[in-house]
Amino acid sequence: MLAALVKSEISREEAADWAIVRVREGASIYVDNPRVWTALDRLGGADLKIGPDAYLHGQADFESWLRELDA
């Protein structure tokens, strides 16, 4: 999902909704894997706004998150 977000294949809202479901349904599974947990946590906030038309995170953030996950 993170790669799809970076490639603009899905919206930030779709990515955030998907991640939030994963966190809620499988928190105990993911919490043991810090890299996955961090990626899900970040992805869950991909649609956070700081104003009516401005988002907290942008394309550069998404790319950085993906690089960190792939590292």
What percentage of the chain carries pLDDT values higher than 90?
68
* pLDDT band at 27; cut points 50, 70, 90: low
Q: Supply the mean pLDDT for the chain.
A: 91
Alpha helices, H only, the chain: 2-6, 12-30, 34-44, 59-70
Position 4 scores a pLDDT of: 97
> For residue 36, what are the domain limits?
2-70
Cβ-contact 6, 63 below 8 angstroms = yes
* pLDDT band at 24; cut points 50, 70, 90: confident
Q: How far apart are CA 36 and CA 32, in angstroms?
A: 9
Higher pLDDT: 26 or 23? It is: 23
Position 31 scores a pLDDT of: 72
